[in-house]
Amino acid sequence: MSTAVTTPQEASANSLIAGQLPKYTPWATLLVSLGIAAGLLNSVGHFSITAVALSGIALFLVGMFALSSAVEGIRKAKDRLARQMVSLFFLVALIPLISLIAGVAVRGSERLDGKFFSYSMRNIVGEGGGAIHAVYGTLIITGIATLVSVPIGMLSAIFLVEYGRNGRLARSITFFVDVMTGIPSIVAGLFAYTVFSILFGPGTKTGLAGAAALSVLMIPTVVRSTEEMLRLVSNDLRESAYALGVPKWRTVLKVVLPTSIAGIITGMILAIARVIGETAPLLVTAGLTSSLNTNPINGPMTTLPVFVYYSYVTPGIPQEPYYARAWAGALTLILIVMGLNLIGRLVAWRFAPKSR
């Protein structure tokens, strides 16, 4: 410990000066704790990385608390403990996320090649082949679902916030939107399947039916997020537009929406990201095919999650190429969602109100 350290005894009760640990103390303590843990576990013959990390961190927390309360006083010791716990749990929360992305990236990059994006699975057994049919399927079905849900969802939210005036209709819409948010996705899929079976004959499996199922899942999310964003717009802005003699619909269109558009777009991207990975409802509505089908109103369509699911559940022989394609499909899906997020952020940044 350095000589700069003062103890609480030196600092009198009224003094503004308190003891301070040097900046490197936490790191040093961490190293020492890990070292002690490694030594102890080694001597009893239970050495493993996990055990050393866990017991080392526990030792570190206890050690820092003791050290800090001795030098800096109990208040700062508690503060340090709380901060270390927060950082620790943050790191714990990151572990699954990072290991998931790293795992998918490593295993998926094996087959993430030109062939993967230029071949479908038509007449492919074993090696080779690709998922172009599934990429198209995902983009078309999610695209249609977005085109259907975004206008419906946004206009409902505008009605709720700007015109509903919290009347009976507005309250019941809010209630049903809440109920719809909780619908299990397979129920939405069965609903769409039933509707399309009644309309177009039993067993109809088309991309459009899949898009309908996804819309059922997407609309409530879009309504809720748009509603939240519109409510954030200060009433003063609406009133000052009215005071200029601007009609209500134009106030909504030219003042309220531009002010909240960044948040609304973020909400839409999240809604898309929520449904793009849906498997169950698409299994029953859009079906499975190994060929490329870009016609959403005729014939089954495979999406990436369904492709991944079937590649893993019913692999051919040999199994390895099927597994590799499944991982590449998963990686593609993550990349699409990340791309959407980036686009959303760019758009949001472009439209966000600026003050300078």
Partner 1 sequence: MSKRIETKNLDIYYGKFHAVQNVNMTIEPRSVTAFIGSSGCGKSTVLRALNRMHEVINGAYVKGEVLLDGVNLYDKKVDPVRVRRQVGMVFQKPNPFPTMSIKENVLAGVRLNNARISGKQADELVESSLKGANLWNEVKDRLDNPGSGLSGGQQQRLVIARAIAVSPEVILMDEPCSALDPISTLAVEDLIQVLRDKYTVVIVTHNMQQAARVSDVTAFFNLEAQGKPGQLIEMGPTDKIFSNPEEKSTEDYITGRFG
Choose which of 7, 234, 294, 298 interacts with partner 1 (CB under 8 A). Answer: 234
**CA pair distance 118, 28, nearest whole angstrom:** 54
Report if residue 240 touches partner 1, rule: CB under 8 A.
yes
Choose which of 199, 243, 313, 317 interacts with partner 1 (CB under 8 A). Answer: 243
Query: Crossing angle, helix 132-158 and helix 320-351, to 10 degrees?
Result: 30
Is 293 exposed, middle or buried (CB count within 10 Å of its CB: 0-12, 13-18, 19+)? buried
**CA pair distance 115, 328, nearest whole angstrom:** 11
Report if residue 254 touches partner 1, rule: CB under 8 A.
yes
C-beta of residue 254 within 8 angstroms of C-beta of residue 136: no
**Upstream peptide bond of 26 is cis (omega within 30 degrees of 0):** no
Of 229 and 333, CB closest to partner 1: 229
Q: Provide the minimum distance between the beta carbon of 268 and partner 1 in the complex, in angstroms, as a whole number.
A: 18
Of 23 and 165, CB closest to partner 1: 165
Report if residue 237 touches partner 1, rule: CB under 8 A.
yes
How many residues sit in the footprint of partner 1 (CB under 8 A)?
26
Which residue's structure tokens are 């990349």?
335
Q: By CB under 8 A, what part of segment 256-275 binds partner 1?
A: 258-259
Q: Provide the minimum distance between the beta carbon of 193 and partner 1 in the complex, in angstroms, as a whole number.
A: 43
Q: Provide the minimum distance between the beta carbon of 249 and partner 1 in the complex, in angstroms, as a whole number.
A: 10
Report if residue 241 touches partner 1, rule: CB under 8 A.
yes
Tokens, residue 193: 């399947």
Q: By CB under 8 A, what part of segment 37-66 binds partner 1?
A: none
Tokens, residue 103: 């795992």
Of 97 and 244, CB closest to partner 1: 244
Q: By CB under 8 A, what part of segment 182-221 binds partner 1?
A: none
- Give the x-and-dash track for 316-335 against partner 1 (CB under 8 A): --------------------
C-beta of residue 154 within 8 angstroms of C-beta of residue 222: yes
- Give the x-and-dash track for 158-187 against partner 1 (CB under 8 A): -------xx---------------------
Query: What does the DSSP assignment read for 267-334?
Result: HHHHHHHHHHT--HHHHHHT---SS----TTSS----HHHHHHHHHHS--SSSHHHHHHHHHHHHHHH
Q: Residues interacting with partner 1, by CB under 8 A?
A: 165-166, 234, 236-247, 250-251, 254-255, 258-259, 351, 353-356
